Chains A and B, each alone.
Chain A
């Protein structure tokens, strides 16, 4: 079965409905429209009375066909006949209404949120008759919408638990010798542990009792006794030696495997495109690389060998007990399946209780995380008592949960021990007549054999306990393996060409040729955009939020590839460029610059670690950062905290400008670089930016239009299109233009503040 089919089956299992267009529906659509190809489809899973139903809405190149469950007839209309589409969002029931000419209602579709992505795409294509057909198969688009929320909540690896563990074992291949040593020493340990009770019994029966009963002289028995004690000593030493080999081999092996997995996951994360990060939470990715790999260490280091050793020990114990005395052996071994079952159930119960306890613990820490950073608000509103109560309630819940755990385990273990001891009592009960010889029909039993027996009985509990815990460890390991392998299995969307072109240097001639882009493959954020920017030109991108300005810069940086059209840099398709080489000649200054933990020097040199100190100072000087850095006691060696929080926003921004300057980029992107700072700081940053833009091709996004005064041309981006283009003066001349409106609004706002 292919991975695509597996994924479809999993999705079907999750949704309980068809996840591809059923053949019967496709036939109806082909018959109704005379078009066998589908562009897009969606499922309306609620009927007019809001009960579950399956009505398919299918777009072909020219038609929209709505196929309700039989016997209702399908509704078909031309896509270009659609005049208006409206989506009404409810709590769980949504409505899509489609009107034709003369406000005739063509269709009403009702559906749950699960179907919204597909329905929103249908709405988009119906509203935009000029929009290009998606370049992705309709099955993929439909399933993508259904998968997305599920994948955001869980790992999307389609392997079974066993498959994942086998794959995990593959990571041990480079450490075959260590692995073999760990497994062999584990098995040897299981066997060696069986020896001392046997030797003890033999010592009693062959040495101590004959001497005690006078059938053998002490002087004769002495060498044998010493020899047996010596053997015991050797066994104990051997046991500890193999235990050491086992622990050392597997603990180190686990660490190596965890290290390799962490490295593979982190390296792969660096390769993945931004689209991957947009679907995953940062915290989730961090925990996959850190705590999940740690859990896998636990499984490799202990779980694997413990499982083998416990199974072998149990099998060995059962064999030895039955060999020593099969009647007593049966008394001991027959109840074992029951004990194992009880242990398994106990493990499950504890797993559940711990799950709940950690959930409540999470709530408690959430209260702390909420109230401590917000302590000024708490005090300002005089709500200390309320916060105390909130914490008190959570604290009490945590206490209740953990006490429930303590009540369970403290009751269970004495009960289990007593059950095992009851079996021991039963063994005593059956052994007594044979030991004392008062039952003439019973087979005699020697003290030595019986002592060995009791020692073996004592060894039964430990492997059982480990097996009881193993379900939990296995569950955790497969879950963690899932999460780690999901990263490793994700493919970057942006792939470098086989024989990439290196532009040395990039001149900065940027050309967009009929470029369209949709993050989801359907709803275009950019629509058929074309422009030509000469080297050294500064372009200001202005327009309302969500118009597509940042998307343009994301495409220039090749964080994404266009859905349609072509972007060229110095005449070469951006997809054919050597990515790393190209990006090294690209500078980006963002609204909220990220500074890494380390010195200011390290941060300025981030893109060019080999830069000399003089160049660093020169870059900082041009960025208006040198003076404030020199005021710091440690100058450029000042450590900036996590995300650079010890510096003000304006200072961090100037460091990020110095960082960009040092790389001497040929194409520069300024994304709202001055929008979150005060006027004085903005002035300093603007000065720095003015020096930075000289001689480079610059794309600057700014809401404060005054910051774009140096721009050669302004592109006004509106609803994914370049609505206007020209210089500041040219655009202002058009009173009804978007730019004029934006300028007027900013002036009014400014006057209001001054008033």
Chain B
């Protein structure tokens, strides 16, 4: 079911303001918007909700392909920023410390230490992807855990078994 109040994606134009925010131009109306991804794991890159400062939906973009080239580029960059999560490339320490699991990992973004609750387990992204959420709510992604180095796999396997 498609909402009748939404502007047509083809008529929607997106641009970056000098301060880095995204501005939507629709029916002659300019609105600063933020990106909300409806299905960040199930269908990333589709059903992107653009919302104004008061959290009112300005547009729901079902598919980025319906946008013009420049708008698509703006949205895709915005999506990368909004969907940012740490990507683990190696696990150096993974141990239990009184009801929490302590992690020391190498990420694409740099070295991080974080903790997960003892009885908390990763969300699996088939076929071999893992999403780990730490106690503060930060998300760590492992696109394919079988591709990690041997020590990392060993640590992870003991945790996943």
Give the interface of A toward B (CB within 8 A). 13-16, 46, 50-53, 86, 88, 90-93, 95, 97, 99, 103, 105, 108, 112-114, 116, 149-150, 152-155, 352, 356, 359, 362, 478-479, 482-483
Contact = CB atoms under 8 A, between A and B. Distances in A.
A86 B20 CA distance: 12
Nearest to A93: B84
Contacts of A93: 81-82, 84-85
Contact of A16 (B84, B104, B137): B104
A19 to B, nearest CB: 12
Contacts of A14: 102, 113, 115
A114 B138 contact: yes
A341 B46 CA distance: 55
B102 A52 contact: no
B137 A149 contact: yes
A99 B97 CA distance: 43
A363 B84 CA distance: 30
A136 B102 CA distance: 29
A486 B116 CA distance: 19
Contacts of B85: 91-93
Given A88-B34, A92-B139, A105-B18, A483 B99 contact: yes
Q: Which 10 A-B pairs have the closest CB atoms?
A: A52-B110, A16-B113, A93-B84, A149-B135, A105-B19, A154-B99, A114-B136, A113-B137, A92-B85, A153-B117
Contacts of B138: 92, 112-114
A78 B83 CA distance: 33
A92 B136 CA distance: 10
Interface in B103-121: 104, 107, 109-119, 121
A15 B136 CA distance: 11
A154 B161 CA distance: 23
A113 B136 contact: yes
A362 B135 contact: no
Given A90-B82, A91-B82, A92-B139, 11 more contacts: A14-B115, A15-B113, A50-B81, A50-B84, A52-B111, A91-B40, A114-B134, A149-B136, A150-B135, A352-B158, A482-B98
Contacts of A479: 98-99
Nearest to B161: A356
B30 interface: no
Contacts of A92: 84-86, 137-139
B156 interface: no
Interface residues of B, number: 40
A69 to B, nearest CB: 12
Nearest to A15: B113
A52 B107 contact: yes
Nearest to A362: B119
Contacts of B82: 90-91, 93
B38 interface: no
Nearest to A156: B98
Given A97-B19, A99-B19, A359-B121, A91 B139 contact: yes
B94 interface: no
B12 interface: no
A723 B160 CA distance: 55
Contact of A108 (B20, B102, B112): B20
B81 A90 contact: yes
A154 B20 contact: no
Contacts of B113: 13-16
B84 A90 contact: yes
B159 to A, nearest CB: 9
Contacts of B119: 359, 362
Interface string B75-106: 00000011111100000000001111010100
Contacts of A53: 110
A555 to B, nearest CB: 30
Contact of B98 (A88, A91, A154, A352): A154
A624 B19 CA distance: 63
B21 interface: yes
Given A93-B81, A99-B19, A479-B98, A153 B109 contact: no
A113 B53 CA distance: 21
A101 to B, nearest CB: 14
A86 B81 CA distance: 16
Contacts of B40: 91
Nearest to B104: A16
Contacts of A90: 81-84
A46 B83 contact: no
B100 A153 contact: yes
Contacts of A88: 34
Nearest to A12: B113
B109 A51 contact: yes
Nearest to A10: B97
A636 B84 CA distance: 60
Contacts of B98: 154-155, 478-479, 482
25 contacts: A14-B115, A16-B111, A16-B112, A51-B109, A51-B110, A52-B107, A52-B110, A52-B112, A90-B84, A91-B40, A97-B21, A99-B19, A105-B18, A105-B20, A108-B20, A114-B136, A150-B100, A152-B135, A153-B115, A154-B97, A154-B99, A155-B99, A352-B158, A352-B161, A362-B119
Contacts of A50: 81, 84, 109
Contact of A46 (B109, B139, B161): B109
A337 B40 CA distance: 53
Nearest to A352: B158
A399 to B, nearest CB: 16
Contacts of B112: 16, 52
Nearest to A108: B20
Contacts of A483: 99
A276 to B, nearest CB: 18
Nearest to A86: B53
Contacts of A108: 19-20
A654 B34 CA distance: 48
A479 to B, nearest CB: 6
Contacts of B158: 352
A563 B118 CA distance: 35
Given A14-B115, A153-B115, A352-B158, A91 B110 contact: no
Contacts of A95: 20, 81
B22 to A, nearest CB: 10
Q: Which of B81, B98, B116, B117 has the most CB of A within 10 A?
A: B98
Contacts of B83: 90-91
Contacts of A154: 97-100, 115, 117-118
A288 B113 CA distance: 28
B136 A112 contact: yes
Contacts of B136: 112-114, 116, 149
B98 to A, nearest CB: 5
Q: Which of A51, A97, A112 has the most CB of B within 10 A?
A: A112
A13 B103 CA distance: 11
